[in-house]
């Protein structure tokens, strides 16, 4: 078979036709099962990227292992057997921000801690989400009058979900993460 | 010899909060550790000086957030001393029971995080948190809160123990006693654990006294000093309390002291239930105007799970004129650079784990 080349794009015009014929012939001879799809890898990823990547992103939110103060104890309890965060896909507390999706600000934010938190947030890969966990991270909490406290992490970072309580129970973090999943367009069973 | 300077923290999975240290190493041998603190400083003492007496327990409980009951108790005790309020006889026993339960919960959390720190022994972490949650459920029954209880009032507590508390507590203690044996089996038969505990980070008795460390860290060095024994409060004298003491002063001794303390706490709670007098345990209601302070200067010393907490209060009629806290973990942190000299770099994390720091308490 002769090949015609498109001058503008530089692609073989009749290559696709030939491939279709090959597929048809092989399907007729039962060499290939009908549920196999022939396509370029780039086309496949383009077709599925929206839904598949979004689906896996929604169902595997990995929090950063980062605790500031008292709420961090409840963050640890969140991973403990009684609550068992793994059953919903909030699987692994990552030790490095480069592997994490969600940053849970658990505790009061002091002025000396702000540059560190900013640096960690910048190290996280996009898309990245922030949960303000507890009164202190939401609005300063009982320390609102203190000389060394930032009244709410939202003065520094964009916050996706607020979870209040002093400290919030581990179940509240569960709820906050489920709210984040809903916000991303996921269908979450309560 | 070539010196390398390594920065650890302030955000590090094994530093128990936001703690930064700069370590000088020669190869793998530590030459010096320089702690940098203050990432959680929020000025508790100043805030307490600007509020009336009974507005302050929530601030005090957030000092050592792993054992909030002990912190709230020591603050209320110093205010009771300043205002001249006597604690009711039954409330003394109830407070002792709650404090000892809190001590077990605190030590279990320490054990879990220690196992996590030294080489990902995740079983210990899971076990520790599971058993701690059982005690937290008990405390939640008694106080209504999971973590910050704020259940101490002048002269007693917010409310008496619930009717079925004793039955539940004794059942839990039976369970925990069996679990302690499991922990010993899990850890002390593990060669990796023993390798990182035995003979690492030795703190001699004289050095411990000079540095002023208290609590399990001091008792692991062989010094018999426990506020519950040497300067007893509540019902500790009546219950014949015996402090846990080890001699070697290494990581293993600090681990063992805390394990023995948990067993002793279980015994104390059981005995306290037997000897608890009848009567009322509820304290004074919160009022905006408290009784006027009787004593100008009052001090109180309490054995918290992490060491001796000492409070100093200069009283004005309605609020503190001057308030000062001796944080046990702040003093214990001073031992870190002393005992990690000459150790391997990885052992600093194990030493940090057995010193049991809570940065909220260090930074105040």
Mean pLDDT confidence for A98-119: 89
C-alpha A96/C-alpha A64 separation (Å) is: 7
In the prediction, which pLDDT does A77 show? Answer: 86
User: B147, A76: Cβ pair inside 8 Å?
Assistant: no
Q: How many domains does chain A have?
A: 2
Residue A156 in domain:
yes
Q: Indicate whether A132 and A171 sit together in one domain.
A: yes
Q: Indicate whether A146 and A88 sit together in one domain.
A: yes
The pLDDT-based confidence of B196 (bands split at 50, 70, 90) is confident
In the prediction, which pLDDT does A69 show? Answer: 85
Torsion sign (Cα): B9, B11, B15, B19? positive
User: B109, A73: Cβ pair inside 8 Å?
Assistant: yes
A127 min Cα distance to partner chain B (Å): 22
Residue A144 in domain:
yes
Chain A residues within an 8 Å CB radius of B47: 143, 145-146
In the prediction, which pLDDT does A5 show? Answer: 64
Chain A residues within an 8 Å CB radius of B113: 76
Mean pLDDT confidence for B159-166: 88
Q: Indicate whether A127 and A150 sit together in one domain.
A: yes
Q: Indicate whether A72 and A44 sit together in one domain.
A: no
Least confident of A64-68, B240-244, B292-296: B292-296
The pLDDT-based confidence of A188 (bands split at 50, 70, 90) is low
In the prediction, which pLDDT does A30 show? Answer: 56
Q: What's the burial of B61, exposed, middle or buried (CB within 10 Å: 0-12/13-18/19+)?
A: buried
A88 min Cα distance to partner chain B (Å): 18
Residue A7 in domain:
no
Residue A188 in domain:
no
Mean pLDDT confidence for B107-128: 85
User: B17, A169: Cβ pair inside 8 Å?
Assistant: no
Mean pLDDT taken over chain A = 79
Mean pLDDT confidence for B223-250: 88
**CB contacts < 8 Å between A and B, how many?**
82
Residue A6 in domain:
no
Q: Indicate whether A127 and A52 sit together in one domain.
A: no
In the prediction, which pLDDT does B173 show? Answer: 92
Q: Indicate whether A95 and A168 sit together in one domain.
A: yes
User: What's the whole-model pTM score?
Assistant: 0.84
The pLDDT-based confidence of B106 (bands split at 50, 70, 90) is very high
Q: Indicate whether A19 and A50 sit together in one domain.
A: yes
User: A69, B10: Cβ pair inside 8 Å?
Assistant: no
In the prediction, which pLDDT does B282 show? Answer: 84
Selected for mutation to probe chain A from B8, B40, B329 (highest A CB count within 10 Å) is B40
Question: Is pLDDT above 70 for A9?
Answer: no
The most confident of A58-62, B70-74, B286-290, by mean pLDDT: B70-74
Question: Is pLDDT above 80 for A42?
Answer: no
User: A82, B130: Cβ pair inside 8 Å?
Assistant: yes
User: A110, B109: Cβ pair inside 8 Å?
Assistant: no
Taken in order of first residue, the domains within chain B and their CATH numbers are 42-329+353-363 (1.10.645.10)
Which of A58, A78, A111 is the endpoint of a domain? A58
- Between strands A161-163 and B20-26, the pairing is unpaired
Question: Is pLDDT above 80 for A47?
Answer: no
The pLDDT-based confidence of B257 (bands split at 50, 70, 90) is very high
Question: What is the C-alpha end-to-end distance of chain B, expressed in Å?
Answer: 39
In the prediction, which pLDDT does A37 show? Answer: 63
Q: How does A137-173 read in b/e, with b if 16+ C-beta sit within 10 Å?
A: bbebbbbeebebbbbbbbebbebbbbbbbbbbbbebb
- Please check whether residue B360 is in contact with residue A143, taking contact to mean a CB–CB distance below 8 angstroms: no
User: B17, A67: Cβ pair inside 8 Å?
Assistant: yes
Residue A9 in domain:
no
The pLDDT-based confidence of A2 (bands split at 50, 70, 90) is low
C-alpha A85/C-alpha A104 separation (Å) is: 14
pLDDT tens figures, B10-35? 888 776 778 888 999 998 899 989 99
C-alpha B153/C-alpha B96 separation (Å) is: 14
Question: Is pLDDT above 90 for B235?
Answer: no
A56 min Cα distance to partner chain B (Å): 26
Which of A58, A92, A111 is the endpoint of a domain? A58
- Quickly tell me which residue has 């972490």 as its tokens: B125
A149 min Cα distance to partner chain B (Å): 6
Q: How does B4-17 read in b/e, with b if 16+ C-beta sit within 10 Å?
A: eeeebbbbbebbbb
Which of A58, A92, A109 is the endpoint of a domain? A58
Q: Indicate whether A66 and A54 sit together in one domain.
A: no
Mean pLDDT confidence for B242-259: 89
Q: Indicate whether A86 and A26 sit together in one domain.
A: no
Residue of B nearest to A143 (CA): B42
In the prediction, which pLDDT does A35 show? Answer: 61
Domain CATH code at residue A90: 3.40.50.12280
In the prediction, which pLDDT does B108 show? Answer: 92
In the prediction, which pLDDT does A48 show? Answer: 65
Q: So what's the ipTM on this one?
A: 0.81
Mean pLDDT confidence for B59-78: 90
Chain B residues within an 8 Å CB radius of A145: 47, 50
Strand, coil or helix: A117: helix
In the prediction, which pLDDT does B300 show? Answer: 92
Q: What's the burial of B52, exposed, middle or buried (CB within 10 Å: 0-12/13-18/19+)?
A: middle
Q: Indicate whether A39 and A101 sit together in one domain.
A: no
Mean pLDDT confidence for A63-67: 84
A114 min Cα distance to partner chain B (Å): 10
Least confident of A32-41, A72-81, B227-236: A32-41
Question: Is pLDDT above 60 for B324?
Answer: yes
In the prediction, which pLDDT does A61 show? Answer: 83
C-alpha A78/C-alpha B133 separation (Å) is: 11
In the prediction, which pLDDT does A19 show? Answer: 64
Residue A1 in domain:
no
B47 min Cα distance to partner chain A (Å): 7
Residue A81 in domain:
yes
Mean pLDDT confidence for B103-114: 91
The pLDDT-based confidence of A27 (bands split at 50, 70, 90) is low
Residue of B nearest to A74 (CA): B147
Number of other CB atoms surrounding residue B170 within 10 Å: 14
In the prediction, which pLDDT does B266 show? Answer: 92
In the prediction, which pLDDT does B156 show? Answer: 87
Chain A residues within an 8 Å CB radius of B65: 69-70, 73
A55 min Cα distance to partner chain B (Å): 29
Chain A residues within an 8 Å CB radius of B115: none
Using a CB–CB cut-off of 8 Å, the residues of B that contact A are 10-11, 13, 17-18, 38-43, 46-47, 50, 58-59, 62, 65-66, 109, 113, 125-126, 129-130, 133, 146-148, 359-360
Q: Indicate whether A87 and A149 sit together in one domain.
A: yes
Mean pLDDT taken over chain B = 88
Question: Is pLDDT above 60 for B310?
Answer: yes
pLDDT tens figures, B345-362? 888 888 888 888 888 888
Please name which of B87, B75, B100, B37 lies closest in space to residue B326, comparing C-alpha atoms.
B75
pLDDT tens figures, A118-165? 988 888 888 889 999 988 889 888 888 888 898 888 888 889 899 888
Q: Indicate whether A116 and A33 sit together in one domain.
A: no
Domain ranges, residue A159:
61-183
Chain B residues within an 8 Å CB radius of A70: 62, 65, 147-148, 360
The most confident of A14-23, A65-74, A165-174, B261-270, by mean pLDDT: B261-270
């Amino acid at each position: 078979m002769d090949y015609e080349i498109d001058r503008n794009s530089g692609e073989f015009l009749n290559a696709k036709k030939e491939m279709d014929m090959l597929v048809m012939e092989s399907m007729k001879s039962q060499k290939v099962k009908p549920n196999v799809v022939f396509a370029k890898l780039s086309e496949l990823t383009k077709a599925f990227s929206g839904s598949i990547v979004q689906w896996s992103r929604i169902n595997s939110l990995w929090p950063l292992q980062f605790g500031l103060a008292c709420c961090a104890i409840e963050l640890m309890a969140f991973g403990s057997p009684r609550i068992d965060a793994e059953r919903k896909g909030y699987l692994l507390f990552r030790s490095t921000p480069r592997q994490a999706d969600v940053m849970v600000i658990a505790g009061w934010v002091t002025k000396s801690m702000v540059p560190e938190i900013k640096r960690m947030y910048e190290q996280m890969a996009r898309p990245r989400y922030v949960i303000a966990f507890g009164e202190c991270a939401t609005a300063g909490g009982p320390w609102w009058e203190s000389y060394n406290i930032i009244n709410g992490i939202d003065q520094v970072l964009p916050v996706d979900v607020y979870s209040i309580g002093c400290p919030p129970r581990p179940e509240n973090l569960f709820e906050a993460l489920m709210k984040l999943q809903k916000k991303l367009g996921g269908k979450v069973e309560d | 010899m070539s010196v390398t300077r390594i920065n650890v923290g302030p955000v590090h999975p094994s530093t128990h909060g936001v703690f930064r240290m700069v370590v000088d190493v020669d190869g793998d041998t530590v030459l010096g550790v320089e702690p940098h603190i203050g990432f959680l400083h929020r000025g508790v003492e100043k805030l307490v000086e600007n509020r009336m007496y009974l507005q302050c327990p929530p601030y005090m409980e957030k000092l050592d957030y792993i054992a909030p009951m002990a912190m709230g108790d020591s603050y209320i005790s110093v205010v009771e001393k300043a205002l001249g309020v006597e604690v009711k006889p039954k409330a003394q026993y109830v407070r002792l029971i709650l404090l000892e339960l809190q001590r077990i919960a605190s030590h279990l959390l320490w054990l879990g995080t220690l196992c996590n720190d030294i080489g990902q022994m995740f079983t210990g972490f899971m076990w520790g948190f599971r058993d701690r949650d059982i005690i937290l459920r008990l405390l939640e029954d008694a106080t209504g809160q999971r973590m910050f209880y704020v259940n101490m009032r002048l002269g007693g507590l917010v409310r008496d123990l619930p009717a079925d508390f004793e039955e539940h507590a004794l059942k839990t203690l039976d369970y925990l006693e069996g679990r302690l044996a499991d922990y010993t089996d899990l850890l002390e038969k593990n060669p990796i654990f023993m390798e990182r505990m035995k003979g690492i980070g030795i703190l001699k008795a004289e050095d411990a006294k000079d540095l002023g460390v208290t609590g399990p860290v001091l008792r692991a060095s062989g010094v018999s000093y426990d506020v519950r024994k040497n300067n007893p409060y509540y019902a500790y004298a009546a219950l014949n309390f015996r402090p846990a003491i080890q001699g070697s002063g290494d990581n293993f001794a600090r681990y063992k002291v805390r394990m023995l303390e948990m067993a002793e706490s279980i015994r104390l709670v059981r005995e306290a239930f037997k000897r608890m007098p009848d009567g009322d345990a509820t304290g004074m209601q919160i009022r905006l105007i408290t009784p006027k302070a009787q004593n100008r200067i009052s001090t109180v010393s309490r054995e918290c799970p992490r060491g001796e907490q000492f409070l100093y209060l200069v009283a004005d009629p309605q609020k503190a004129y001057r308030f000062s806290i001796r944080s046990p973990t702040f003093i214990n942190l001073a031992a870190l650079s002393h005992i990690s000299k000459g150790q391997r770099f990885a052992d600093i994390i194990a030493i940090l784990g057995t010193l049991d720091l809570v940065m909220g308490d260090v930074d105040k």
